[in-house]
Chains A and B, each alone.
Chain A
C-alpha cells in the first residue's frame, strides 16, 4: 500500500467524485421523469400507449447500457444528434434507468389495494381524481425503497461513461492505474468514494422512507 501516492493523487479523485455525483443526480432526475411517464403509459387505457411503454421497457432492459451509451454518443451524429460525452452519457443512462424505474413505479401503483380505487370511484371521484388523491399518495410510499435499489444501481452505473472519456471516478482510476501501475490503491481510493456516495444516497432514501411511513 503506497500511502504517499494516495496522498498525492487524491485531489484528482475528489474532483472526479464531484463529476460522478453530478452524473448521478442528473441521471436520477431524468430516470424518474422517464419512469413516471413510462409507468403512466403502461397503465393507460389506450392500448398503443401501453404497447409503446412495454416496448421501451423491454428494449432498454434487454440490451446492455454500455451499448445504449455508445449508440447515442458515437451513432448520434449520424442522425443529427451531436452531444458532448457528458450529455450523451447522462441522457443514455437516464433513459436506461428510466426503464427499470418504470417497472418499479408501475409495481407500486398496482400493489395499492383495488378496494381503494373502487371505493373512491363509488364515492363519485373521477378516474384522474382517484389516481391523484387516493392511489398515488399510497403508491409513493411503497415505491421509495425499490426506487432506492434503482438509485444504488444507477450510481454504480455512471461508471459506464468512462469508456466515452467522461472524466469521472472510474475514468480517473483507469488513468492513474495506467500511469502509476498501482491498481489496488487506485481501486480502493475510487471505490471508497463510490461507497461514500452510495451511503449518503442510501441515508437520504431511509430518511424519506421514515418520513413517508404512516405511524
Chain B
C-alpha cells in the first residue's frame, strides 16, 4: 500500500478540531501547572512539616516516573475513589500536576536565590511573613524563571499527545479516528505531526516575545 495524501483534506475539519482541543488542554494544564508550581514551591519550602513532607514525597514520585504512568494513576485512581471525571478534566489534572512539579523545582531554586535584603526590607517595613512572600519574594522569583517555565510549556504541548491514551479527544486521537476510517496511518500521523510542529513554532515565537519583554522591563 503506497502513500496517498489526497484523503487528508477530507478530514481537515476533524484534525482542526483536534488541534483546537490540543491547544485548550495545553493552556488549561499550563495555567494549572503555573499556579500549582507556586503552591508546591511555597509549601515545600515554608509549609508545616505535615504539608511539606507529603508535597516533597509527591514531587519525588512524580519526577521519577513516566507521565503516561501518572495519567493512568489519576484517571483510574479517581474512578476508583468514586470521582468520575470527564477524560478532558482528568487529562488536564494529570498534565497540570506533572508539570507543576517541574515548575515547582524551578521556583524553589528561584525563591532561595531572591536577595535576602528584599525579605529583610519588607519585614522591617512591617509586612507579615505571608505578605512578604506573596507581594515581594514570589513575584520576583516567578518572573526570573519564566523563560525555563516556557520550555516546560513547550514540553507540555508535545506531551499533551499522551492524553489520547486515556481517551481525551485531541489531535492525536483525532488522527486515530481518521485512520480507523481510512486505514492510512502514515498520512494522518504525519498530518498530526505537522499540526503539532506549527503550534510548537507559534508557541516558541510567543515565548521569545515574552522573554524579550521581560528582559526589557528589567
List residues of chain A with CB under 8 Å of any chain B CB: 59, 62-68, 70-71, 74-79, 156-160, 162-163, 169-170, 173-174, 177, 181-184, 187, 190-191, 194-195, 198
Q: Are A159 and B185 in contact (CB under 8 A)?
A: no
Q: What's the Cα separation between A177 and B69 when bound, in Å?
A: 11
Interface set, chain B 184-203, CB cutoff 8 A to A = 184-187, 189-190, 192-193, 196-197, 200-201
Q: Are B186 and A67 in contact (CB under 8 A)?
A: no
CB distance from B88 to the nearest CB of A (A): 18
Q: Mark B54-71, 1 if CB is under 8 A from A, else 0.
A: 000000010011111110
Contacts of B187 in A (CB 8 A): 75
Interface size class of B (residues with CB under 8 A): 35 or more
Q: What's the Cα separation between A75 and B4 when bound, in Å?
A: 12
Q: Are A194 and B66 in contact (CB under 8 A)?
A: yes
Q: Are B64 and A198 in contact (CB under 8 A)?
A: yes
Interface set, chain B 1-38, CB cutoff 8 A to A = 1-3
**Stretch from B112-120, B130-138, B158-166 at the A interface:** B158-166
* CB contact between A156 and one of B1, B65, B172 (< 8 Å): that residue: B65
B80 at the interface (CB under 8 A from A): yes
Q: Are B1 and A78 in contact (CB under 8 A)?
A: yes
Asked if A66 meets B161 with Cβ closer than 8 Å, knowing A156-B65, A183-B80, A187-B72, the reply is yes
CB distance from A128 to the nearest CB of B (A): 35
* CB contact between B193 and one of A63, A76, A79, A194 (< 8 Å): that residue: A63
Q: Are A71 and B64 in contact (CB under 8 A)?
A: no
Please give me the residue from chain A that is nearest to B161 by CB atom. Answer: A64
CB distance from A92 to the nearest CB of B (A): 11
Residue of A67, A74, A191 with most chain B CB atoms under a 10 A cut-off: A67
Contacts of A65 in B (CB 8 A): 158
CB distance from A35 to the nearest CB of B (A): 19
